[in-house]
Amino acid sequence: MKTAAIILAAGAAYRMGKAKMLLPYQGKTILEQLIIELKAVAPQSICLVTGKYHETISQTISDPTISLVYNEAWSKGMAGSIQAGMQALLQQIPDLDLVWIVVGDQPFLSQSVLQEMLRLQQETQKGIIAAQYKGVAGTPVLFSAVYFEALQKLTGDKGARVILQEHPEDMATVAFPQGELDIDTPEDYERFLQQLNQQDADRPIQPGS
């Protein structure tokens, strides 16, 4: 089973005013932590699609195993980034079986969520495995090859959600309550840091620490 992932990091982040995926997180950046979690599930390839902040991101991400793809049409919406990522991946891996679509501003995404998505796909054989939070199916989403053509035909800024809406009978979901926190504004980032601090405060003290 050949798997890969597309990280969407092409947007302008107007409300944040800077590259939100490069904000500090546990000694690294949100994007670097996301890559660590993705690599833990051993995909054959990870494609990072950039746009507005291509130069800044390319200077930050030095991992040679990450394929950087610049979406020249980044301002036209998310669909173009998905298309650019799919084209790059299918050139690398023509017989690709599954692809994760991941956004660059969900800092709580973990390898356990990704592993559960993969397990559920194998168990149910559904073509779409989506994360679920606030009663809605959303990113990350794991698509089987049956949907690769549809992914490459997306238009505008709706992203892949339209495919989820059109094929509910072929979709299963994995609970990811922390997925509701995406970082669009400075206030979102402050709320994220507060949640991290609370998690640290709630974590039991280990003997000898």
The span from the CA of 69 to the CA of 49, in Å, is 5
Enter the tokens of residue 168.
């509910």
The span from the CA of 68 to the CA of 70, in Å, is 7
Check: CB of residue 105 under 8 Å from CB of residue 183. Answer: yes
Check: CB of residue 15 under 8 Å from CB of residue 37. Answer: no
Check: CB of residue 21 under 8 Å from CB of residue 48. Answer: no
CATH of domain 3-201: 3.90.550.10
User: Could you give the angle at which helices 30-39 and 111-124 cross, rounded to 10 degrees?
Assistant: 40
CB-count burial class (<10 Å; 0-12, 13-18, 19+) for 57: buried
Task: Give the domain ranges of the chain.
Answer: 3-201
The reply to whether the predicted model has a pTM over 0.85 is yes
Check: CB of residue 159 under 8 Å from CB of residue 82. Answer: yes
Q: Write the DSSP string, 134-198.
A: TTEEEEEEEEEGGGHHHHHT--TT-TTHHHHHH-GGGEEEEE-GGGG----SHHHHHHHHHHHHH
Closest to 129 in 3D by CA, of 162, 98, 166: 98
Query: Which letter, b or e, does each residue of 105-118 get, where b requires 16 or more Cβ atoms within 10 Å of its Cβ?
Result: bbbbbbeebbebbb
- Print pLDDT tens along the chain (209 aa): 999 999 999 887 666 666 778 888 878 888 999 999 999 999 999 999 999 889 989 998 888 889 999 999 888 888 999 999 999 999 999 999 999 999 988 888 999 999 999 999 999 999 999 999 988 999 999 999 999 999 999 987 777 889 999 999 999 999 999 888 777 777 877 877 787 776 654 444 333 33
Enter the tokens of residue 146.
């049956």
